[in-house]
A and B are shown apart, each in its own frame.
Chain A
Amino acid sequence: MARSKRFELLAQREVNKDSFIHEWPEVGLVNMESPFDPKPSLVVEKGIVKEMDGKKRKDFDIIDYFIIHHCLDLKQAQKGMEMDSLRIARKVLDIDISRKGVIKIFSGLTPAKILEVVKHLDTVEMMMALRKMRARKTPANQAHVTNRRENPVLLAADAAEAALRGFAEEETTVAVPRSAAMNALAVLVGSQTGRGGVLTQCAVEEALNLKLGMLGLTTYSETLSVYGTESTFKDGDDTPWSKAFLASAYASRGTKIRFSSGTGSEVLMGNSEGRSMLYLEIRCLMCIKGAGSQGVQNGSISCIALPLSLPGGGRTVLAENLIATLLDLEVASGNDAMSSHSDMRKTAKLMTQFLPGTDFITSGYSSMPRRDNLFGGGNFDSEDYDDYLILQRDFLVNGGIVPVEEEDVIRIRKKAAKAIQALFKELGFPPITDEEIEVAVTVHWSQDMPERNRVEDLKASERILKENITGLDVARALSKLGYQDIAERILEIQKQRVAGDHLQTSAIFDADFHVLSAINDPNDYQGPGTGYRLAGEIRRRLTDIPQAKDPRQIATRFLTEEPEMLIEEIGEAVIGTDKNEVVIGLGPAFGTVLVETIIGLPHAEVLKEVLRGIEEERVTARLIKIYETSDCAFIGHKAAQLSGSGIALGIQSKGTTVIHQKDLSPLNNLELLSQASNLTIETYRAIGRNAARYVKGEPPFPVPTVIDNMARLKYIVKTTLMHMKETEQVDPNKSPQEVRVKFP
């Protein structure tokens, strides 16, 4: 078979490195539309559930029992289960029905019923629903902060930067479990240096995780995973009861928790029981609610490539996030693990959470380069910051990250690095050198950090656990060392753990430690004009990116003291009699108000080259200035009416040039070089020559131009501004003037 070059190129595209498979429902390789998913049912006799979703009581597994005992509201169930699923789906989107009203209905639905309802919604409807149903009104974001070498100085600096960039939560983890305490400490100090009130965690196994919380080195945890089938739950070495107990254990120590689940884990672990991935995720979410968790991170998380390999993957993952909110849970909506090789595909997927807004748009935005991400990658990383910020600006959406100035980032990184240096000294930990600090402030990734003694660092990390070094100790030490502001914030974190306000649904802190949660900042979206609107100070901050310039300050070089060209008007231009002339019509601002073309070619040089080209063909040139119009075609057309030969050149100040002929209609022409940004100084000479050749009736030479498809993109703002200046000089009552030009 002959190979199409286009197909060959398509085959090499990044998106084609992703895996794609057809559905195979029998083994659970299906997103949400499986013929093997149970039909909704609920039989209750004397307050005892006899059957749920087609399964008899004697066949209930641990998940069924847990859902019935702890999640399903039997008082609501009768009404909810009888209601038509399509009707419920419409209620979800009905702006006249409040979030609270929807949640009430869902509190009485079985997993299969919830699935049936959600299946009625398409992707855009799910986005609309998420907008209404997320718990907290103000969206936020979470950062991942790790590095391959587990360098504590770099961790502190990165944590400080992430905090400055506006992340409400920061999650770190370990390469080796022994470094957990030190990593938690570095991120605690760093984050509070960047901004007070950032919640932090260190993802490690539960016992150690709990201990870090008890010491006050972390404030939240999201390691509590659940699964949608009994055997997978057992493989995860837990039960809904053990996880629920653990949730209470964390709360009893003032640590915020959210559970973790997501489509794909069951089939990946070989135990899907032939159910669709979303059906199993609904069972997870109902266990999570039943366990008394305030929230969940889901959206497939680490298995993301699996739902995305099947039809409807993006919609299914969005459905997961939505169902979490329908169950009144806080949702940190994935977008953390690598989802595709293709930037286009990754971004499109992100938009489904980014545009409606969730409690945490990502459950871990890699605040450092992907290579330093110990969570196995990072779907979006420090190199994508500006893309993300500009997307926020484009759609006027708060995605939880704020623009920052480079100098502020450098300052805050240095402060965090110095604080951790002083703290290490105070605690008798392995010293941090000034050189390490210097590198950590500006470095891109950990490989470029000076080598540290890992063995000694690990020993220090173990000392934290052995000697029970607490958040309070850290605050005290930093205060003694003169880092009063950081000390105050770390103390405030400890204080908040006593009040427990952050244990409520969707809680985060602002920079002044005011808690913001579903209780005091509830999402009240009920259609246009309600809910979260980007306005005021935050709108100003999100749109004020450092790349944006003041358009009043962009223009071009203006006329200077020592002009490169003097243009002198010598009287009203008349129709020429010389059959051997080219009339050059100059734009109203040319060489006077504006002195160079859009790419900075001096008008004097442009004109010299054009004149040289005409002269080479032994044709004479006459210069006139047009005031009635700033439009290139009309400048050329007007000049042509005055030309003895009928041939003229029209040159706009930004450099656009046309060869015109008097009998042509204004918008027609002999030659148009419309992209001024692609015209070089040589081009102008060639244009001059061609104009002259038209006069002589000789065939023109092709004018060599550079092809740049991005030209319009790059120069559109400048074009607008230059044209604005040119148009300001237009005087409809001033006829064309003959001019004399001197090049001093």
Chain B
Amino acid sequence: MKIKTLIITIVALGLAVIYLVPVIWMGLSSFMDEKDILASKWIPSRVHLENYKIVLHRAKISRWFINSLITASLGTLGVLGVGIFAGYSLGRMRYPGRRILFFFALSGFMIPIQGIMIPLYLMIRKFGLVNNLLGLILPAWPSSLAVFVLSQFMREIPIEYEEAARMDGANEFQILFKVILPMSLPAIITVTVFHFTAIWNDFLWPLIIMTSDDMYTLPVGLVTLAGSDVNIRYGPIMAANVIASLPIIIVYAFFQRYLARGFIMEVK
């Protein structure tokens, strides 16, 4: 029995390490000069920090980083802002037409962004938001997924908590913010991590609406960087990759155990 545990564990860990080889390689290459990389080395012959200097110096990577950070933060805040109220309304309030509104909100699942990106682009252009971070932020706000996850989670909270607060004279806002919201924290974290990562990593939409390299987000900036300057190759690109990846890995490390919980809750 013990031996079986040992063998299965070794196999699983081995698979996981092999799985991480590309990430490890990315990290190692970011410290290599071009000669090492072309010679297929795995250990840098000397730790070569120039890659990071080149990228931070020559590319607008800090600018792209800030653009991504602003977009992902305000995008996610907006998703939560409109999503929490809508989720509370649909999940916990009773009024005529609630079910219709619920299905209306969910119809967003049927409208993939790729299907509407052209009219959406023309609209953003009309609003004068091309090459503007608001053009990335505002369209992210109405998230059907967020409303769905939040309303389903809030629905499960026992009515007794709400009734007790009502007895004490709490109004709807107080019930939402003092009773329901604190208890919905797992769902809120799920929504936050999911949308922050999705917006941070989005590629197609910023590629479409950003026209100057000052306004690129990290994913678009990285790709143009790799395609533009022949001097910025392998090593510096890998350094840029590392810089771009660290924040998300850190966010994930903090919140990983919550990530799937809200999303999968319904899958019983």
Are A and B a genuine interacting pair, yes or no?
A: no
Which A residues fall within an 8 A CB radius of B? none
A-binding residues in B (CB < 8 A): none
